[in-house]
């Protein structure tokens, strides 16, 4: 039988880079049009986050994985965040292990439940099947985490691109606060 | 529909403890009889490693995960190591993310292929389907890593308990060296 060879990827904690980098995807503000409440008066087109994807066969026994680096900052009152997505195969979970930084993990189901967890170094966050997930950097350094999900999970960005999420994370009096999304 | 709630576990990097601890399993030398070449003259019954299991439903879309802490040390010339296992459902992968320490990840297939990868802080090791895996602490501090695997993978310790693994990692001139197992 023809087995896949085991392999290592190395995440350089100083440079915040994966070696080899796999697929490196950068998301700038222009890639997230309509996702922030106040994106009109932002100078330039800041990089919000990037992630390194290590791609495996898209079948259930394999484990896709990636390292995400969200730069610190805000767009209006909202902290930098990822686009957020459901899995195409909805009955698949995801795990985040936070390496560095501070943030929030905002999740919701298509039936309207919402849940927010804290992220900090050493936190292992379990996103059970059916929960969409978005990560938000509420700190002053990059928020860095490893994500692992089943090989066949896939990504479904459409619902959140169209409707947003029920909860926003904004800065209020210098502190992160979870509020209801007025446009949802 | 009745969804599982998202949840966090926190790995305390100073105490090397998971909170909440989940199932905590400690492996002492007496739990690994016959696995080391020279276990007869060891004083007492040293703890070799422990791991914290976060248990999820044993179905493919979920992700079991655990944090393993291998204490530094040797039994004879061999460094402290885990028992090693195949997955019961052989077509399932596993990922290790190393948090702290230095080690080796020794893998083999039932068809006799063997492979060894390095472990160090920031390393993401991919163990594809069909490869058994054992981790070995070759450093002077605890080797700590997070493991993630599909919910239905299961553990099969029997083959390695009976036959051992083809490769051993021993100290030679103060350095770790991978050698053929004379008893295999």
Distance CA B147, CA A58 (A): 20
Inside any domain, residue A54: yes
Distance from CA of A176 to the nearest CA of B (A): 19
Give A42 to chain B, closest Cα distance, Å. 34
Please state the rounded mean pLDDT for residues B98-111. Answer: 97
Mutate which of B2, B4, B5, B6 to disrupt the A interface (most A C-beta within 10 Å)? B6
Q: Give the pLDDT band (50/70/90) at residue A91.
A: very high
pLDDT 10s digits, A92-144: 999 999 999 999 999 999 999 999 999 999 999 999 999 999 999 999 999 99
The CATH number assigned to the domain holding B129 equals: 2.60.120.10
Which of A122, A132, A145, A154 would you mutate first to test chain B, the one with the most B CBs within 10 A?
A122
Residue B85: the pLDDT is 97
Model confidence over A42-65: pLDDT tens digits?
989 999 999 999 999 999 999 999
Specify if B3 maps to a domain: no
pLDDT at A78 over 90: yes
Given an 8 Å threshold on Cβ–Cβ distance, is B117 in contact with A6? yes
Share of chain A above pLDDT 70, in %: 100
**Which chain A residue lies closest to B153 (C-alpha atoms)?**
A61
Give residue B76's domain range: 16-180
Q: How many CB pairs under 8 A join A and B?
A: 155
Give the ipTM. 0.96
In a domain, B8, yes or no: no
CA-nearest of B145, B61, B17, B15 to A126 is B61
Interchain proximity B121–A13, CB inside 8 Å: yes
Residue B60 backbone dihedrals phi, psi, to 5 degrees: -60, -35
In a domain, B22, yes or no: yes
Q: Which of A13, A67, A117 is facing B6, going by the closest CB pair?
A: A117
> What's the helix, strand, coil split of chain B in %, to 5?
5, 50, 45
């Amino acid at each position: 039988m023809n087995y896949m060879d085991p392999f290592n990827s190395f995440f350089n904690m100083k440079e915040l880079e994966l070696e080899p980098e796999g697929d490196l995807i950068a998301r700038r503000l222009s890639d997230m049009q309509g996702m922030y409440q106040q994106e009109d008066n932002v100078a330039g087109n800041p990089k919000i986050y990037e992630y390194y994807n290590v791609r495996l066969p898209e079948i259930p026994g394999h484990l896709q994985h990636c390292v995400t680096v969200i730069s610190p900052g805000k767009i209006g009152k909202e902290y930098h965040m990822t686009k957020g997505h459901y899995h195409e195969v909805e009955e698949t979970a995801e795990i985040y292990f936070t390496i560095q930084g501070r943030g929030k993990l905002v999740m919701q189901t298509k039936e309207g439940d919402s849940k927010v967890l804290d992220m900090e170094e050493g936190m292992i966050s379990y996103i059970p099947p059916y929960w969409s997930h978005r990560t938000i950097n509420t700190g002053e350094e990059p928020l860095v985490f490893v994500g692992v999900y089943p090989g066949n999970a896939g990504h479904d960005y459409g619902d959140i691109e169209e409707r947003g999420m029920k909860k926003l994370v904004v800065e209020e009096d210098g502190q992160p606060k979870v509020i209801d999304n007025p446009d949802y």
